[in-house]
Structure 1
Amino acid sequence: MIDFGFDKLALIGAVALIVIGPERLPKVARTVGHLLGKAQRYVADVKAEVNRSIELEELKKMKTEFEDAARNVEQTVSQEVHAVSSDFDKAWSEATAGLSSSSGSPWEPSPPVYKPPRKNWRIKRSAVPQWYRQRHGVRSRVQSGAARVARFRPPRVSSKAGP
Structure 2
Amino acid sequence: MFEVGFSELLLVGIVALMVLGPERLPVAARTLGRGLGQARKAMHALRTQVEREIDLGVVELPNLDRAPLQRLEQEIRQGISLKAEPANDAATVAATKENAS
TM-score, L = length of structure 2? 0.54
Give the whole-Å Cα distance in 2 for the aligned partners of 1:40 and 1:22: 28
Number of the residue aligned with 2:11: 11
Which gives a bigger RCO, structure 1 or 2 (Cα 8 Å, sep 6+)? 2
1:106-145 equivalent positions in 2, closer than 5 A: none
Q: Which amino acid aligns with 2:4?
A: F
Which residue identity is paired with 2:34?
A: H
Shift of 1:57: 1.6
**Alignment size in residue pairs:** 59
5+ long unaligned stretches in structure 1 = 61-163
What SS does the corresponding residue of 1:22 show, helix, strand or coil?
Answer: helix
CA distance in 1, matches of 2:37, 2:30: 11
Paired-residue identity, %: 46
Specify which structure has the higher proportion of helix: 2
Per-residue CA deviation, residues 42-90 of structure 1 (Å, 9 max, x unaligned), is 11011101111121129x9xxxxxxxxxxxxxxxxxxxxxxxxxxxxxx
Q: Please give the alpha-carbon distance, in whole angstroms, between the structure 1 residues aligned to 2:23 and 2:43.
A: 32
- What are the Cα deviations for residues 5-25 of structure 1, in whole angstroms up to 9, with x where unaligned? 111111100000000000110
- RMSD across aligned positions (CA): 1.7
Point out the structure with max Rg over C-alpha.
1
Unaligned runs of 5+ in 2: 61-101
Indicate the residue corresponding to 2:49 in structure 1.
Answer: 49
Q: TM-score, normalized by length of structure 1?
A: 0.34
